[in-house]
Amino acid sequence: MKVNEYDVIVIGASNSGGMAACAAAEKGAKVLVIDKMKSTHYLYRLSLAAVGTKAQKKAGIDIDKYQLINYLCAFAQDNVDQKLLWTWVNNSAATVDWLEDNVLKPHGAHLYAQKDAHYQTLINTAFPTEHDVTNKQHEDIFYGNWVIEKAQELGADFLWQTKLEHLITENGVVTGLIAKKMATSEVLELRAKKGVIICTGGYGSNEALMQKWNPLGLKKNVYSDSPRDDGSGQLAAVEIGAWRDEEPAEIIFDRGAVPVGTNTNDYYVKSWEDVGYFWLGSYPLLKLNLNGERVGNESAPYEFDMNRATKQPGYLQVALWDDATMNNLKQFHTLGCARLNWPGFYNTDENKEEINNRVKEGFIQKANSIAELAQKLHLPVENVQNSVASYNQMCEQGQDTQFGKEDFRLVPIKTGAYYGAIYGGRLLATLDGLRINTKMQVLNTQGQVIPHLYAAGNASGGFFWGSYPDHVPGLTASHAQTFGRLAGQQAAN
Ligand SMILES: Cc1cc2nc3c(=O)[nH]c(=O)nc-3n(C[C@H](O)[C@H](O)[C@H](O)COP(=O)(O)OP(=O)(O)OC[C@H]3O[C@@H](n4cnc5c(N)ncnc54)[C@H](O)[C@@H]3O)c2cc1C
C-alpha cells in the first residue's frame, strides 16, 4: 500500500472542497484533494448568495444582516446553530469577492448582483442575496474547472476517481484516511499532518440512508438530481464518533413531472439528465391534489409546494394551465432560478419548448377541454371542472377568497389548449450533516472537537433545518463555498 503525506487533505472537489483547497494552499499548506468522480466542473453553481459584496455595493444593494438572520432562524424555527448563520453572513462577501477577483475576472467573467426580491406576502419574504456568474454577453458561465486550476496553480494536488473509505485516527486525532482508486480498486493510505476536510456533500441518492435519515424525503421526491450523493463521507466521520444533525434538511425543486399513475413508492430516478424536468412547476399555477381539489395558496417557496403535497394522498400535485398562461408568464413575477428570462434559466419560448417535449414524452398531458384533460390525468372529472370554474371566477374578481394568493398571480385557465402535469419533488441535495463549530471542526456526540477533522458544505450540518429558504437565493452553494474557504484556512493553521 502506498503512503503519501500532506498537511491538509480535502475530500470532495466541488463548491466546498475546491474553495477549501484554494484557501489552505494560499496559506502555504501542502494540499491534496481527492474526488471519487472524474470532474466537478458543472457542480459549481451559477447562483451564489452573499451579503455586502463589491457587486452588491456597485448595484446599490444593502441587506440588513440582522433582519436576514432573524428571518433564517424563524424559517428554521431556530433548529439551527445561530453562530454558524452569523459565520456565513460575516464571511460570505469575502468568499464571493475572492471568487470573482481570483477565478472569474481572469477569465473574463463576473458576478451580476440581482436586485429584485419583490414580495407581498409573509410566506414569500425574500432577500436580494443572489449573484449570477455571467459575462458581458449575459451568458451562464460554468467556472468549476477554473477553481480547480486555481487550486493547482496555488500548489494543490488532485487525485480523481479516488474515494474516501475510512478515516484513520491515532489517540483520537485524525491523521489520515484510507482511499480506493475507483478504476483499479487499489487501496491508498493518505496521511494528513494538519487536517482532513470532509466536503463530500449529501446522501440523497443513497436510498438506504434516505430511509434512515429522511424517510419522508423519499416519498415527496421522485427524482434525485445529485446521483453521486451517497453519504460516504458523512458515514466515515460517523464511524469515528462524529455527531450528525438529528433531523433532515433538504433543497427541493417542485419540478419533477411523472407519468400518470406513478406511485412515489416505486419511482425515484437518480440522474442529472433532463428526465421529467418541468420548470413551470415552480410557477404559482392552479395546483390540485390527486382528488382534483385545490388545497392551498400555490404562491410559496418551491419546497413548500412539495411539503403541501405530503398532506395529500399520493404525495403528488397536479398543475393546470392553458396556452394563454404560457403567453403570460411574466405576470407571475417569479424570482430566483424560476425567474423568466436572464438571469433566470428559461424565457417564454424555452418554457414552451420544454412543455412540448414533455407532452411528446408523456410526462405532461394536453387536451382540448378540462374534462378531457382530467380524464387523461386519471383525475375525477367533476372535481377538476369545479376547481377550475371556481378558480377562474376568483381570477375574474381579482381576489383569491379561498386561500389568499397575490392578485397579480391569479391567471385564469379558460382558452385552451389545456395542459396538466402530475409532479413531485426533485431532491437537489440533502442539507443535514455533521455537526461543526464556527471553525468548521467536526464535533463528537459529546459536542467536543474531533481533532484535525473538519467539514464544510452539505456534508456539514447545523445550518439548515427542514426546507431550504430559496427566497435567499444561492444560499446552499454560498454556504458550501464560504464554509469550505474557512475550513481550508483553519486546517492550514
Ligand atoms: C441541478 C442543481 C442546481 C443547483 N443550483 C444551485 C444554485 O444555483 N445555487 C445554489 O446555492 N445551490 C444550487 N444547487 C445546490 C448546490 O449544488 C449544492 O448545495 C452544492 O453543490 C454543495 O456543494 P458541496 O461541495 O457541499 O457538495 P457537492 O457539490 O455535492 O460535492 C461533493 C463532492 O464530493 C465527492 N465525493 C462524495 N463522496 C466522496 C468520497 N467518499 N470520496 C471522494 N469524493 C467524494 C463527489 O463526487 C462530489 O464531487 C443546485 C443543485 C442541483 C442538483
* All structural domains of the chain with their residue ranges: 2-204+432-492, 253-427
Beta bridge partners of 182: none
CA of 404 to the centre of ligand 1 (A): 36
| Closest to 325 measured CA to CA, from 283, 369, 277, 370 | 283
C-alpha to C-alpha distances, 39 to 12, 32, 421, nearest whole angstrom: 10, 15, 34
C-alpha to C-alpha distances, 483 to 111, 318, 438, nearest whole angstrom: 20, 38, 9
Fill in the DSSP letter of residue 346.
B
pLDDT band of residue 487 (cuts 50, 70, 90) is very high
The predicted pLDDT at position 91 comes to 98
Nearest ligand 1 atom, CA 458: 26
Q: Quickly list DSSP for 420-459.
A: EEEEEEEEEEE---B-B-TT-EEEBTTS-EEEEEEE-GGG
Residue 199: partners with Cβ closer than 8 Å, 6 or more residues away: 10, 11, 12, 13, 14, 16, 17, 20, 233, 455, 456, 457, 459, 480, 484, 487
Whose C-alpha lies nearest to ligand 1, atom 38? 200
CA of 16 to the centre of ligand 1 (A): 8
- The predicted-structure confidence for 176-214, as pLDDT tens digits, reads as follows 999 999 999 999 999 999 999 999 999 999 999 999 999
Nearest ligand 1 atom, CA 226: 53
CA atoms lying within 13 Å on the CB side of residue 93: 15
CB distance 15 to ligand 1 below 6 Å:
yes
CB distance 234 to ligand 1 below 6 Å:
no
pLDDT of 3 strictly over 90: no
CA of 392 to the centre of ligand 1 (A): 41
CA of 201 to the centre of ligand 1 (A): 5
Whose C-alpha lies nearest to ligand 1, atom 37? 200
Taking phi over 0 as left and psi of -120 to 50 as alpha, with beta for the rest, 466 belongs to left
Q: Could you tell which of 39, 111, 209, 228 is best to mutate to test the pocket of ligand 1, judged by most ligand atoms within 8 Å of the CB?
A: 228
Task: Compute the chain's Rg from CA coordinates.
Answer: 23
Determine whether domain 253-427 maps to CATH 3.90.700.10: yes
The predicted pLDDT at position 2 comes to 55
Average pLDDT over the chain, rounded to an integer:
97
With beta carbons less than 8 A apart as the criterion, state whether 364 and 257 touch. Answer: yes
Fill in the DSSP letter of residue 104.
I
With beta carbons less than 8 A apart as the criterion, state whether 20 and 11 touch. Answer: no
With beta carbons less than 8 A apart as the criterion, state whether 449 and 434 touch. Answer: no
Rounded CA-CA distance 294/174 in Å is: 54
CB distance 233 to ligand 1 below 6 Å:
yes
Residue 419 has φ and ψ, to the nearest 5°, of -130, 150
CA of 15 to the centre of ligand 1 (A): 7
The predicted pLDDT at position 40 comes to 97
The predicted pLDDT at position 345 comes to 82
Whose C-alpha lies nearest to ligand 1, atom 20? 477
Residue 426: partners with Cβ closer than 8 Å, 6 or more residues away: 221, 222, 223, 224, 225, 252, 253, 254, 255, 256, 277
**pTM over the 0.95 mark:** yes
Fold of the domain spanning 2-204+432-492:
FAD/NAD(P)-binding domain (3.50.50)
Classify 231 as helix, strand or coil.
Answer: coil
The predicted pLDDT at position 4 comes to 81
